[in-house]
């Protein structure tokens, strides 16, 4: 029997339609066409991503001493990981290494450097003149940051000198490093005076080349400055501003 030409063509058309339906129904995976499926998969991918910051409450479980201290200080609002960086690995397995601990001087100014756009009242410093050129943690405890305490004895009267010195490179030196104060100075401040350095050799004890204090800047005391005394050019309570 001869199949008419139009039937053949119709068969081809029907076959194509059926094939198309089958392909869209069964061969294309649901994860490509079904919105619910591919969105669920996408949410799953998003949710299963790795966490890197452990969260503020985690650290206190072990480090409760530091946590209690921090809670009472000015840094109470800070999360540990604000400074120590992402630490989820350390939280899960404390033996896997310690979190980053910033010790260098350039870290704290990220928040505390003076910037006119910062809100009024936020504690700020100018790192180039807030001295000594030492890491902030030498004077300030980052878990309980307060201005470093000064000896009350001298600052009670010489507050201006104390404040100047507190910002200077000599901040860590006691007043008694250079001045020896008789006890009676407190009773009779004008008639019994503390001593002052009298000669160039006094400063040279630290600042001469070859002097023992390594961090003090060195000069050749024999030639530097000629016949002048050190404090005729350098103010000892704010040195470096000659």
Partner 1 sequence: MDKREFLKSLIVFIPAGGIIASLAKQAGAKAPAPAYQAKNHYYGMGIEIDKCIGCNRCVEACKLENDVPDEPFYFRTWVERYTIKKDRTVVVETVGLRKGKRKEIVEQEDVLRSFFVPKLCNHCANPPCVQVCPVDATWSTEDGAVIVDKNRCIGCRYCIQACPYGARYLHPKTKTADKCTFCYHRVVRGLLPACVEVCPTQARIFGDLKSQASRLVRFERMNKIHVLKPDLNTQPKVYYAGLDGEVR
Q: Residue numbers of the site for partner 1 (CB under 8 A)?
A: 35, 38-39, 41-43, 45-53, 55-56, 75, 77-79, 81-82, 85-86, 110-111, 113-119, 122
The residue to which tokens 């910002």 are assigned: 167
CA distance linking residue 81 with residue 56, whole number of Å: 7
Q: Which is nearer to partner 1, 106 or 184 (CB)?
A: 106
What are 208's strand-pairing partners? 219
In the complex, the smallest distance separating the C-beta of residue 146 from partner 1, rounded to whole angstroms, is 17
Whose CA is closest to 90, among 120, 116, 38, 53?
53
CA distance linking residue 169 with residue 187, whole number of Å: 31
In the complex, the smallest distance separating the C-beta of residue 96 from partner 1, rounded to whole angstroms, is 17
Q: Which is nearer to partner 1, 67 or 79 (CB)?
A: 79
Angle at 102 between CA 80 and CA 126, to 5 degrees: 105
User: And the tokens for 29?
Assistant: 């995976």
In the complex, the smallest distance separating the C-beta of residue 110 from partner 1, rounded to whole angstroms, is 5
Q: Which is nearer to partner 1, 117 or 183 (CB)?
A: 117
Q: Which is nearer to partner 1, 4 or 116 (CB)?
A: 116
Handedness of CA 58, 63, 64, 69 (dihedral sign): negative
In the complex, the smallest distance separating the C-beta of residue 115 from partner 1, rounded to whole angstroms, is 5
Q: Which is nearer to partner 1, 35 or 149 (CB)?
A: 35
Answer yes or no: are the C-beta atoms of 118 and 124 closer than 8 Å: yes
In the complex, the smallest distance separating the C-beta of residue 26 from partner 1, rounded to whole angstroms, is 21
CA distance linking residue 108 with residue 104, whole number of Å: 8
């Amino acid at each position: 029997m001869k199949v008419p030409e139009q039937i053949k063509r119709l068969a081809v058309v029907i076959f194509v339609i059926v094939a198309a339906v089958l392909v869209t129904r069964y061969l294309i995976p649901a994860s490509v066409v079904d919105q619910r499926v591919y969105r669920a998969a996408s949410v799953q991918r998003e949710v299963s991503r790795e966490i890197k910051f452990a969260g503020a409450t985690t650290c206190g479980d072990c480090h409760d001493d530091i946590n209690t201290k921090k809670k009472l200080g000015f840094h109470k609002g800070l999360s540990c990981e604000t400074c120590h960086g992402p630490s989820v690995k350390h939280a899960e397995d404390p033996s896997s290494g310690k979190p980053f601990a910033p010790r260098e001087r350039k870290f704290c100014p990220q928040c505390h450097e003076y910037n006119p756009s910062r809100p009024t009242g936020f504690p700020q410093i100018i790192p180039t003149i807030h001295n000594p050129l030492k890491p902030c943690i030498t004077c300030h405890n980052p878990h309980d940051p307060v201005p470093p305490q000064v000896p009350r004895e001298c600052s009670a009267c010489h507050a201006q000198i104390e404040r100047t010195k507190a910002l200077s490179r000599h901040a860590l030196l006691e007043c008694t490093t250079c001045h020896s104060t008789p006890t009676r100075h407190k009773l009779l401040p004008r008639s019994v005076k503390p001593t002052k350095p009298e000669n160039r050799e006094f400063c040279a004890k630290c600042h001469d080349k070859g002097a023992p204090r390594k961090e003090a800047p060195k000069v050749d005391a024999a030639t530097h400055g000629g016949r002048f005394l050190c404090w005729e050019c350098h103010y000892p309570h704010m040195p470096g501003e000659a």
